[in-house]
Amino acid sequence: MMEQYHALKAQAGECLLFYRMGDFFELFFDDAKVAAGVLDIALTSRGESGGESVPMCGVPVHAADGYLARLIRAGHRVAIAEQVETPDEAKARAKAEGKPSSKVLVAREIIRFVTAGTLTEDALLEPRRANRLAAVCEVRGSVGIAACDISTGRLELEECGPDGLATALSRLGAREIVAPEDWEPAPADATLRPPSDFASERGRQRLQELHQVATLDAFGDFGRAMLAAAGGLLAYLEHAGRGTMPFLLPPTINATDATMAIDEASRTSLEITATQSGERAGSLLGTVDRCVTSAGARLLAEDLSAPLARKTEIEARLALVRFFHEDPILRGDVRLALRAIPDVARALARLVADRGSPRDLGQVRDGLAQARDLHGSLSRLPDRPALLDTLLPDLTGHGALVDELSRALVPSPPTERQSGGYIASGYDHALDALRETSGNARRAIAAMEARYRQETGISALKIKHNGVLGYFIEVPARHGDALMKPDSGFTHRQTMANAVRFNSVHLHEEASRIAEAGGHALAAEEAHFEALVEAVVTAREAIARTADALARIDVAAALAERAAEGDWCAPVIEDAPCLEIVGGRHPVVEAALTKAGERFVPNDCVLNLPDGGLHRAQALPEQGRTGATSRLWLIGGPNMGGKSTFLRANALIVLLAQAGSYVPATSARIGLVDRLFSRVGASDNLARGRSTFMVEMVETATILAQATTRSFVILDEVGRGTSTYDGLALAWAVAEAIHEKNRSRCLFATHYHELARLAESCDALSLHHVRAREWRGDLVLLHEVAEGPADRSYGLAVAKLAGVPGAVIDRASTILAKLEKGREETGGLASGLGDLPLFSAAAQAQQEECDTLRDRLSGLDIDALSPREALDLLYDLKREAGES
């Protein structure tokens, strides 16, 4: 057996091998150790190998899905080795080969590799999230990406430069990545495959074979890198499924300039689909999602992950949201109808992949029928937006299939086929007759029980059924002897502790009738199942379009619902690179505050409006420029004042708008953004390991290299991760570079008020601050963004607010006064960056303290002190030393 095991394990490679033995999948050696650890199951051992016992653990076959899910989630891949013949077949084979039957082993084969990217089982998938597998490779300097979600059949191809790979992969959010093993820049966690899988010509052929076309022209114009990646993807799917291909729709091309580029670091920092700790709740998606179907929730996650970059497409989505926003009754009705619709896309994918069940057929039937009803009500509405009109035809057109499925299936078909019962009566007369026969036989057996009781006089006699014996007659042990008599008409089968079991000729006859009719009925149902699956598979592309259309309608209605709930507005999309957000709010922070009964303070953000926009009135005459006409806002003010929140609120509003959503603001004009960047200074992210300042600088370098005049950049306390001088110098230079070179729209939050001097040299930069007020010695944070520089940093007041002891605050005030004096004396920043006073002033303050102490000690006449005075002096010195 171990020989067979090792041969299979060699094929499984790095995958854990699930080796089928009876009712269990067993794992051996290191696989067993790994699995026992992850699954928290007992590690046992079996036999010996090389003088040592072999570690082993196992999971029951009927519960394998749950265990698989946990292994996959923990980052493992699993090869399933099944028995591919019965023990009888193995014996027959041995006989044919002239071997003793005791020596022969049931043949086993790996029937499937289960990996994160190749799942279709409902139990293993997250309903509200796409499950993508991506293949990447490079052809002559171009990187090709092929991404599919086999749980819905979507296949997307795209091409980008080597720099664009990371951003594209983070947009796609692939669960598993495959790459050629000889490609050096392959992502670190990629599954490596033979380079020959990634040949572009072979890729083209594979796609043509898959979709049974002679040319791919009808699907689009695919570059060589895309075809190579597609080849790698299809080869991997074939490998993982051991030759069975999953469901894939014809490929579509993702044009890189069709979506807003958001790199991985910005995604994480903006918490778009997950919070920094990886949860959906508390992310933008979690706060926005009001979808009533899983498919809708998946599509919304996609929309937010890849906001659009073209005005017409954004406006088409917005018009659909507006349609539902303006008519709450219609919205309610549509959402009610959608709520009942099953996940057609995933049911379809399982059916096509040959892993479907009668329940999946039922879901396709119900989904299509409900889509048709929805079509009926929506198509009667006047003034429909264009997007709805393009979706409507996809909701209908399955009449014959729905009718067939409705006639064929019972109302709620089971997930298992083994025991039949899913084909409705009246669909097939032969099947009905078979059921009639077994029904009659069952009734005959019931009648038989009553008759036997009467004939034997044993009222406790029962006719029962179990999996081992089939039907049998059972009497309590004390009546056993009576039926044992040879002329009783009963034959003994089994003696239990309390009961004795018998058979009879009549019972046997009826039982055989049931078994035979049952077997035929099962076979008939099975044949119908196959035919129905075939019908669904034939219509798969149209069904997938229906599922997509339903999801799009769900997303639009859900966004309208969210907008109504939060009093959001429809953004106006502009081509010019401007931004005018009035009364903007951070959706996640606002939701949290509302829950706590607090109010979110809305703020305006107006960038790059040559005419000054609505804010003309706020022009500061002495500066000759306003926030509105500038491109870069430098925002100062106290910690906890709301700077980060303001930055992110605006970035999220831009993102929502381009995803086609209403936005949390009173009004919003959004000039199209090609790339969105968000960076947070290092010290907020200490948990991340790698030298955080290094990370901060790598990320900042990316922005400087990639941001364009159409980009929107938010920088939060950049430069904080290093010493004051370095940090200030870097922040200064970065702000300058964005202003001069990238010329992007930018919000830059900083606690260095020295940066305010930048306004003197940068004409498109303006100064802003979050307002705070000291009231009766306490700090009041107003969370209001106002024009003009921050007057001071309020650090001490914030410390007090945070509960730092009064004595420490007092001491800090003294030190601060001295520092500020030092700054004035050395001329401060005004005399140039080299004169930054902070550190020298700090050193000077320390020096002054030492001097005072020395003076005091040297002026002391020790002999003149009374013991009491000496002791007091010691206490004083000790206290002062403790304070400093």
Q: Which of 19/600 has CB closer to ligand ADP?
A: 600
Q: Which of 144/637 has CB closer to ligand ADP?
A: 637
User: Which H helix or E strand runs over 604?
Assistant: strand 603-607
639 binds ligand ADP (CB under 6 A): yes
For residues 683 and 720, is the Cβ–Cβ distance under 8 A? Answer: yes
Part of the chain binding ligand ADP (CB under 6 A), chosen from 316-324, 637-645, 735-743, 752-760: 637-645
Q: Which tokens is 159 given?
A: 């091409």
Nearest approach, Cβ of residue 648 and ligand ADP (Å): 8
Q: Which of 342/641 has CB closer to ligand ADP?
A: 641
591 binds ligand ADP (CB under 6 A): no
Considering only 783, 790, 836, 841, the residue that binds ligand ADP (CB under 6 A) is 783
Considering only 71, 423, 550, 589, the residue that binds ligand ADP (CB under 6 A) is 589
Considering only 131, 608, 645, 700, the residue that binds ligand ADP (CB under 6 A) is 645
DSSP letters spanning 360-426 = HHHHHHHHHHHHHHHHHHHHT-SS--HHHHHHGGGG---HHHHHHHHHHB-SS--S--TT---BPTT
Given phi > 0 = left and psi -120 to 50 = alpha, else beta, which region is 528?
alpha
Please list the alpha-helical segments (H only) found in 155-273.
165-172, 200-211, 224-240, 264-270
Nearest approach, Cβ of residue 201 and ligand ADP (Å): 54
Considering only 290, 298, 375, 643, the residue that binds ligand ADP (CB under 6 A) is 643
Q: Which residues of 293-327 are buried (b: 16+ CB within 10 A; e: fewer)?
A: bbbbbbbbbbbbbbbbbeeebbbbbbbbbbbbbee
Part of the chain binding ligand ADP (CB under 6 A), chosen from 135-143, 600-608, 827-835, 857-865: 600-608
For residues 671 and 576, is the Cβ–Cβ distance under 8 A? Answer: yes
Q: Which of 169/747 has CB closer to ligand ADP?
A: 747
Nearest approach, Cβ of residue 640 and ligand ADP (Å): 4
Distances in Å between the Cα of 629 and the Cα atoms of 313, 604, 609, 626 are 28, 14, 5, 6
Nearest approach, Cβ of residue 283 and ligand ADP (Å): 16
Nearest approach, Cβ of residue 643 and ligand ADP (Å): 3
Three-state SS annotation for 263-302: CHHHHHHHCCCCCCCCCCCCCHHHHHCCCCCHHHHHHHHH
Name the residue number minimizing CB distance to ligand ADP: 642
Q: Which amino acid is at 570?
A: A
Nearest approach, Cβ of residue 635 and ligand ADP (Å): 8
Q: Which of 546/750 has CB closer to ligand ADP?
A: 750
Q: Which of 644/702 has CB closer to ligand ADP?
A: 644
Q: Which of 32/770 has CB closer to ligand ADP?
A: 770
DSSP 740: I
Closest CA to 305 of 324, 335, 329, 280: 280
Q: Which of 272/408 has CB closer to ligand ADP?
A: 272
Those residues with Cβ within 8 angstroms of residue 209's Cβ, 6 or more apart along the chain or in another chain = none
Phi first, then psi, for residue 392 (nearest 5°) are -50, -50
Other C-beta atoms closer than 10 Å to the C-beta of 651 total 25
Nearest approach, Cβ of residue 601 and ligand ADP (Å): 4
41 binds ligand ADP (CB under 6 A): no
Distance CA 656, CA 307 (A): 7
641 binds ligand ADP (CB under 6 A): yes
Nearest approach, Cβ of residue 590 and ligand ADP (Å): 8
Part of the chain binding ligand ADP (CB under 6 A), chosen from 153-161, 543-551, 572-580, 642-650: 642-650
Part of the chain binding ligand ADP (CB under 6 A), chosen from 223-231, 608-616, 625-633, 636-644: 636-644
Considering only 222, 236, 452, 600, the residue that binds ligand ADP (CB under 6 A) is 600
Part of the chain binding ligand ADP (CB under 6 A), chosen from 76-84, 456-464, 596-604, 693-701: 596-604
Part of the chain binding ligand ADP (CB under 6 A), chosen from 58-66, 84-92, 633-641, 808-816: 633-641
Q: How far apart are the first and last CA of the chain?
A: 76
User: Which H helix or E strand runs over 45?
Assistant: strand 44-49
601 binds ligand ADP (CB under 6 A): yes
Part of the chain binding ligand ADP (CB under 6 A), chosen from 243-251, 320-328, 635-643, 789-797: 635-643
For residues 758 and 737, is the Cβ–Cβ distance under 8 A? Answer: no
Site for ligand ADP in 759-778 (CB under 6 A): 770
Nearest approach, Cβ of residue 179 and ligand ADP (Å): 39
CA 289 to chain CA centroid, nearest Å:
13
Q: Which of 5/794 has CB closer to ligand ADP?
A: 794
* Strands 176-180 and 191-193, sheet pairing: parallel
Q: Is 572 helix (H, G, I), strand (E, B) or coil?
A: strand
DSSP 576: S
Nearest approach, Cβ of residue 812 and ligand ADP (Å): 19
Part of the chain binding ligand ADP (CB under 6 A), chosen from 204-212, 575-583, 634-642, 841-849: 634-642
Q: Which tokens is 254 given?
A: 């993702």
- Locate tokens 């995604």: which residue? 267
793 binds ligand ADP (CB under 6 A): no
Q: Which of 397/664 has CB closer to ligand ADP?
A: 664
Size of the site for ligand ADP (CB under 6 A): 14
Part of the chain binding ligand ADP (CB under 6 A), chosen from 445-453, 593-601, 670-678, 856-864: 593-601
* Strands 675-680 and 261-262, sheet pairing: parallel
For residues 197 and 170, is the Cβ–Cβ distance under 8 A? Answer: no
Other C-beta atoms closer than 10 Å to the C-beta of 103 total 7
Distance CA 836, CA 732 (A): 13
Partners of 495 in the β-ladder: 500
324 binds ligand ADP (CB under 6 A): no
Considering only 131, 644, 706, 766, the residue that binds ligand ADP (CB under 6 A) is 644
Nearest approach, Cβ of residue 794 and ligand ADP (Å): 10
Half-sphere exposure of 530 (CA within 13 A, CB side): 6
Nearest approach, Cβ of residue 653 and ligand ADP (Å): 13
Distance CA 544, CA 147 (A): 17
Q: Which of 139/589 has CB closer to ligand ADP?
A: 589
Site residues (vs ligand ADP, CB under 6 A): 589, 593, 600-601, 603, 639-645, 770, 783
